[in-house]
Amino acid sequence: MKTLLGLGIIIITLVLVGLQWVNSGGLTQHEIRSAGNPTEAIEALMQDVQAKNWDRAYARLANTNDIEKPAFIRDLAGSYGSLRTYSSLDSFDVWPLRATADQAKLRVNMHWSTAIGPIDDVRDLNVEQKGGNWKVDWPVPKFNDVPPQVVPVNYLRWDIINRGPEDVWGEQNVDSPQVKIISMNPVERPDRLIILGEIENEDTVPAYVNVNATLLDQNQNPLSQEGSFDKISHTLLPKQVSPYRIDFPGVKLSQVKSVRMDSKAMLIPASADPVIEVAGQQIASDPLGKRILKGQLINQSGQVVNIAQALAAFYDANGKVIWVSDGYVDQALLPQTPVSFAVDLPDDVAKRVQNSHITVNHYSVNNNS
């Protein structure tokens, strides 16, 4: 009996010591030491980011004296209701760029899962060996502080007054806006057929628009039907033009005899605010070697734009729309603060581009625009 009691006391003591070791960070330190090379250090960091274990992720950094934990978390988790705040790290790829005995530089491509689809974030990270452990030197994020200021409000606004229940019987509400598809161009890619072009609001009132296309085969029978979904600026102010793009995966141009286009328009209340300026547009290559159109979006209003989408139309020397692409910005657009954007561009199309035009779709929590 005494033997069993003594054995029980020993077991309880070991359990309590183990819990104290875990609570004091012993498990974290053990896991950090388990990163035996630069690749394992970044992989371990990314796994912590996936689990949203910010304490353990922060402990893996080599430069905690230079970057505060809230800034590190904000850099990866987002803020101000941005797209990143509604995202999760789905997967990642890591590959080395260069290395020495105690320092290395690696590239990580983080694949984020969002409500609008996957978004990639490529970072080049330095890793260094400290006390036998490999730790990540995370780039110190730079966040712009918006100073207190007065922003004058002088934008146009359209409201709708519909017929009420006590109005004269038979009295009609306002007619739907007049919109027109001003161009349509089929583009064949290896895995799909794409219909792209532009649509214009010809009316004096704002319109919510959508474009659908039906492909007809050689016998004029419907082959496939798709809509523009988010590859369009749905809200068009009077005389405003938007590009559109409709994808037909798995369809070849040789299968199609003709295309039936259909545009829908609905009258909506709208305003010309916020104004988002597009600056510094240029065609370049991203870190993975893909051709992109990049630039900056500058929110000229006094309100926060939580989610922004850059929708780009590309034109050839004859002014014909030859490509439409889009890219979401995972940061919020603060007033008067530039934020970088990029949209993809196929290499063969980039050679023919003579001009481009960016339209910005936006969503703000305050007005649900």
17-26: per-residue pLDDT in tens?
455 544 544 4
62-94: per-residue pLDDT in tens?
999 999 999 999 999 999 999 999 999 999 999
CATH class given for the domain over 176-271: mainly beta
Vertex 79, ends 114 and 45: CA angle to 5°?
Answer: 70
Output the pLDDT for position 168.
55
Output the pLDDT for position 53.
97
More confident residue, 137 or 33: 137
> Could you state, in order of their start, the residue ranges of all structural domains in the chain?
24-137, 176-271, 276-363
pLDDT-wise least confident of 3-12, 254-263, 274-283, 357-366: 3-12
CATH of domain 276-363: 2.60.40.10
Distance, CA of 200 to chain centre: 26
- Residue 220 is given by DSSP the state S
Highest mean pLDDT among 4-13, 25-34, 100-109: 100-109
Output the pLDDT for position 153.
84
More confident residue, 175 or 20: 175
Among 262, 193, 260, residue whose Cα is nearest residue 221: 260
Output the pLDDT for position 235.
96
Output the pLDDT for position 32.
46
Give the three-state DSSP class for 362: strand
Query: pLDDT band at 166, cuts 50/70/90?
Result: low
More confident residue, 286 or 25: 286
Q: Is the dihedral of CA 173, 363, 152, 300 positive or negative?
A: negative
218-228 mean pLDDT:
96
Distance, CA of 7 to chain centre: 59
265-269 mean pLDDT:
94
122-148 mean pLDDT:
90
Q: Please report where in the chains the tokens 């966040």 appear, as a residue.
A: 143
pTM of the model: 0.83
Please name the helix (run of DSSP H) or strand (run of DSSP E) that holds residue 32, with its range, or none: helix 26-33
**How many whole angstroms separate alpha carbon 95 and alpha carbon 104?**
11
Q: Same CATH fold, 276-363 and 24-137?
A: no
User: Which residues are CB-contacts of 294 (< 8 A; sequence separation ≥ 6)?
Assistant: 280, 281, 282, 284, 286, 340, 341, 342, 343
Output the pLDDT for position 225.
97
Is the pLDDT at 220 greater than 70? The verdict is yes
Q: Please report where in the chains the tokens 């993809």 appear, as a residue.
A: 344
Q: What six digits make up the tokens of 158?
A: 């359209």
**How many whole angstroms separate alpha carbon 330 and alpha carbon 306?**
9
Query: pLDDT band at 14, cuts 50/70/90?
Result: low
pLDDT-wise least confident of 147-151, 172-176, 282-286, 287-291: 172-176
**How many whole angstroms separate alpha carbon 291 and alpha carbon 281?**
13
Output the pLDDT for position 162.
74
Name the CATH code of domain 24-137 (choices 2.40.50.140, 3.30.70.120, 3.10.450.100, 3.40.640.10).
Answer: 3.10.450.100
